[in-house]
Structure 1
Amino acid sequence: MNAKLLRLLALPAALLVCGCGGARKSVLNPAYEVEKVEAEGMAPVVDGADAARKAALGDALRNALALVVGVYVSQESMVSQAVLIDETITSQTEGYIEKYETLKEWRDGDFYRVRVLAHVRKEDLTLKLRDLEPEPVKLGNPVICFAVSETIDGAKAEFSAAATELKSVFAGAGFLTGEGEICDVTIKGAADSAFNTREGLGGFVSYRATLSLSAEKAGGGALAAVQDAAGGIDLNDAAAARAAVINSVKKAGPDLKDRLLKALKEKSVVRLTLSGVKDMNHLSDYMKSLKNIPSIRASWLRSYSGPAAHIDVGMRRGGAQELSTLLQKNQKFPLKIVRSGAYDIEGALP
């Protein structure tokens, strides 16, 4: 295992030693937040104390940046993207560290050590880190649920082989899969398999399955849809029917996944629920302020009653997480975020 990967994987232990001071307002620009972290660096004394001090300081700043990276990056990305993270982020301290203070420096045998308190720009870093995450994470990490009915020769199947296979397809692409009420997108549809033939198959049975699927956003609205069919053979009817359904999902599942990703990128609409609306003039002024945010493509008022309003916000880039940050920084109407999901935000107007 190389040194760069060891540095990144050692972060959880380093956090216990050096610690994160938590998000604070930037001194240079109060609209942004910084993470204040302590970190230590070291370097061998080869060409004198001054050169070693400079090298140890650079190592301390890289370690400070790596501490924050370890908080915001998933362990999976930490391992798979270790070299890229080191080359594009942790080695570029000047681009992410706003300022630092030297807390202590000392010589330790043949090494020089420096301990610093660094102010790491949170927004700049998180935006860069999002580029390293899987596509579903960039789109708000939506939870995908499955409601696929299944029949065999017209009779309802005891369990859905289609839903099980679809879970595998979407989980393999980095999506979170779930059940019950906590669903951002639900894959709905039907899988129907029917007997085909036994002739000329040497004792095997052939079934044919048809599959119809659609991906629907929570609250309504289809995002993508596919249809396909496939055959399957096995030693008995039940196994052949299951094989046909699985083969149809293997054909249609990746296509549906790709279409869903494309739809989420192109049609990224966040439902914004507002409280604290004083009157229509107040609401009108707020909606005008949304037009001044470059990341917002358009906004539509869906309903307004008393102090509450529902607005659909179309994003040029990003999703609910990015919009939440932007709305809190709106100078005229800084929104207090009550709740933020993958595709919806609840907030209170000042």
Structure 2
Amino acid sequence: MKNKSSFLLFLSLFIFYSTAALFLNGCASAQKQRLKLGETVDGEVVEAEGLSAVTNDLIATKRASLADAYKNAIEKVVGIFISARTMVDKAITIQQNILGKTDGYVKKHEVIKEGQEADGLYHTKIRALVSYQQIQNDLKELEVLQAPMVGNPRVAILLDETIQGFEDSGSACTDAIAQGLLERGYKVVDRSELAAIRVAEATQQLLSGNMEKALKPIVEKLNAEVVVTGKAIASPITTEGLGGLISYRATLTGKAIKAQTGEILATVSLQGSGLDATKEAASQKAMSQAGKNAANDLASRVANELARRSTVLVIVQGLADLNRLRDIKDFISKTQGVGEIYMRSFSEGRAEMEVKVNSVTSSDLANAISSQASLGAQVVAQTQDSLELKVQ
């Protein structure tokens, strides 16, 4: 009887410890299988929490809470690619086309914790594998991802116009440039507004290279961002073989200058011809044609140059996950003088973003990042319009 009791005790203990071992082993396996936060080949694993009001239908409550967690997980990823301002401006588009397609973006999930909490709501905390590549592609297709734009710069035109044989040379070349720039979306300082400065004096100062003295009143009184200046000269060519008509040729040599800094954005050297019955009409046509040619040439070149100088391309290498990218992006966005940030791409630990700068340079950004040790980012390369970082 005693042997039988000992055997039963041994059997009970064996079953207990075996069951406990299996349970602990199962827990360990489950722990090992849990989704690991960070980037994977299929996307990014993020943590998110969803909430739902508690109803009599527990299954429906759980589903609603999980759906909210899905949405919040996707919103975390979307927030990396677009700014808070864009989230507000494009709220309906993003809600209908991105946040409403949760099943398509969340590839798998694990529930970390769920249940009704003290606030009376049902909470579901998850880890979700989100396909950020698909989200990025869909945002581009919706044209939500847009590079920072320069806008429509305000231009002041100060030309020295001379028509040989006339005391009053008029402003045909200036007017043609103004009209051409207006048609291409630029804002042009009106002739009446130019009365706020000494136009002739400022023009001669610009032509002689006295930029600082000339540009100060142009910036302060006219609020101009770009100044187009130069010399336009029209002279007669010939009257022979033209059936009594008169021919003039205008030559324009000029440049577009960034008003605040005096930097040259573009230069032009071109001509225009005019044919008419009178010297006055022919010369005005030549000047006008030269102005049209200048506007056509300057419009795209100035816009491209302003865009290049108003953005800094920031490349970040060695990112373990989106959280590290978010930290760096947030730090840059809070740096004084920085405007919108446009995410170009993020893949395999490498991110590219265009940073719109208002009053800072790439060098200023490099110094700010280097001085922030807690950011853990090292500047490895820097040019006038680019910055490369490596996360430590």
TM-score, normalized by the shorter chain, greater than 0.5: no
- Greater percentage in strand: 1
After TM superposition, the score normalised by the length of structure 1 is 0.42
Rg comparison, structure with higher value: 2
After TM superposition, the score normalised by the length of structure 2 is 0.38
